Amino acid sequence: MPGVVGGGMRPLLTAELRARLSESADKTDPAGEPDRQMLAQLRSSGLLGTAVPVRHGGAGGDAVAINRVVAEIAAVNPSVAIVAFQHFAVSARIAEWGTEEQRERWLPELADGSVLAASAWSETGAGAAKRNLSSTGTRLADGRWQLDGSKAFATGAGIADIYLVLVRTATEASPVMPTGYGADGQTFFLVGADTPGVVPELGFGLAGMRGSATGLVALDGCVVADADRLGPIGGAASVIAGVRESGASLGAVSVGIAQGAFDVAVQHAEHHGLLTLPTVRHRLVELATRLEAARAMVDRAGARTSADPGLTTLHSKLHASTTAEEICLDVARMLGSAGYRDGARIGRLLTDARGIAFMGPTNDLCRELVAASWTG
């Protein structure tokens, strides 16, 4: 049965979809390529409408709903969870910052899965805080914009139908606080994947998240209308700030990964008759307690009940990502040689868990942003 979250109805992850996601994870890890059949099933599942308002055909879910769906997917397939998280993030930004024309154009198709969204913010040399962008947006005489540059580590490269692209539109970078995220003079654009000059390329050869289609998106003389601009010219930093204020947390991916690792440990103990041993049971309880603590922090971020929801979102990513990696390591130790074989699920989960620390904002940047709050 569907659940009511954030004021709207949304479907839950069905047993059939969960099984298909698990099978896909086994397939994409050795191949290092996205499973397009799995993604087609995700598109048709109804889940991609979680972050879209009801009036535009979505479930109207809040950050609690987003975090829950992402965690459920990540428990069986972290790569697809990252793809879904990016889709939700772009959907929410359009709902929040888009013009009415942009909302009418994109949100219904984002909700029904006919359009899959991805973010293209990072690039080589820009730094974790995305301050030193080399990609540019130049205003043309007819009012359109020409985008040039190359975006790196874009999850969903080659499989997304629309990219939320971050470029520098000011001729000179504006001064920013050293602990800020983004800079003045940067602008977001919604760029269709079929726009001439958009060239996605995979082949990063990531250690983890190997089914996430993470790669490059080149912008070679890509011309878009001013109507494709999301938010004010030069005001991308305000849009970025709203991302963590929303409560949607990458920590949800980590919670899902930790849940997957815990499930592996329980299955191993059951299969080998180890649950009769108090030491094993107590060790599993310790893992379960740490998992629930991480889940609670991500839930708190999504609920936005703290005095500073943005800081709580940062804390939730830090705590959940660290906890997930620790739980995966502990489970690997419990499995011993059984977890050290090529293709062992716990090994895949461990490499996936490590990747969350490098995703924006990176864990080190999260620490800087939290520390900056103490000095005002």
Give the 3-state secondary structure of the chain. Answer: CCEEECCEEECCCCHHHHHHHHHHHHHHHHHCCCCHHHHHHHHCCCHHHCCCCHHHCCCCCCHHHHHHHHHHHHCCCHHHHHHHHHHHHHHHHHHHHCCHHHHHHHHHHHHHCCCCEEEECCCCCCCCCCCCCCCEEEECCCCCEEEEEEEEEEECCCCCCEEEEEEECCCCCCCCCCCCCCCCCEEEEEEECCCCCEEEECCCCCCCCCCCCEEEEEEEEEEECHHHEECCCCEHHHHHHHHHHCCCCCHHHHHHHHHHHHHHHHHHHHHCCHHHCHHHHHHHHHHHHHHHHHHHHHHHHHHCCCCCHHHHHHHHHHHHHHHHHHHHHHHHHHHHHHHCCCCCHHHHHHHHHHHHCCCCCCHHHHHHHHHHCCCC
CB-count burial class (<10 Å; 0-12, 13-18, 19+) for 164: buried
Query: What pLDDT score was predicted for residue 6?
Result: 37
| Among 128, 125, 133, residue whose Cα is nearest residue 184 | 133
Q: Are residues 158 and 127 in contact, defined by beta-carbon separation less than 8 angstroms? A: no
Tally of CA atoms within 13 A in the half-sphere of 85 that contains its CB = 31
Q: Are residues 190 and 230 in contact, defined by beta-carbon separation less than 8 angstroms? A: yes
- Give the C-alpha separation, 206 to 50, whole Å: 28
- Give the C-alpha separation, 323 to 253, whole Å: 12
For residue 171, CA distances in Å to 135, 138, 143, 167, 180 come to: 11, 9, 17, 11, 20
Task: Find how far residue 280's CA is from the centre of its chain.
Answer: 34
Query: What pLDDT score was predicted for residue 206?
Result: 85
| Among 155, 218, 231, 150, residue whose Cα is nearest residue 190 | 231
Q: What residues does 99 pair with on adjacent strands?
A: none
| Phi-psi domain of 158 (left: phi exceeds 0; alpha: psi -120 through 50; beta: other) | left
Q: Are residues 202 and 157 in contact, defined by beta-carbon separation less than 8 angstroms? A: yes
- Give the C-alpha separation, 355 to 348, whole Å: 11
- Give the C-alpha separation, 254 to 152, whole Å: 22
Query: What pLDDT score was predicted for residue 130?
Result: 67
Tens-level pLDDT at each residue, the chain (376 residues): 233 333 344 447 888 999 999 999 999 988 888 999 999 999 999 999 999 999 999 999 999 999 999 999 999 999 999 999 999 999 999 999 999 999 999 999 999 999 999 999 888 765 665 667 889 999 999 999 999 999 988 999 999 999 999 999 976 544 444 446 667 889 999 999 999 999 998 766 788 999 999 999 999 999 999 999 999 999 998 898 888 899 999 999 999 999 999 999 999 999 999 999 999 999 999 999 999 999 999 999 999 999 999 999 999 999 999 999 999 999 999 999 888 888 899 999 999 999 999 998 899 999 999 998 888 6
Which tokens in the block code for residue 242?
A: 């709203």
For residue 252, CA distances in Å to 7, 54, 57, 119, 187 come to: 20, 23, 24, 18, 28
State the amino acid at position 79 in one-letter form: S
- Give the C-alpha separation, 202 to 289, whole Å: 38
Query: What pLDDT score was predicted for residue 161?
Result: 98
| Among 127, 225, 104, residue whose Cα is nearest residue 182 | 127
Query: What pLDDT score was predicted for residue 189?
Result: 98
Q: Are residues 238 and 304 in contact, defined by beta-carbon separation less than 8 angstroms? A: no
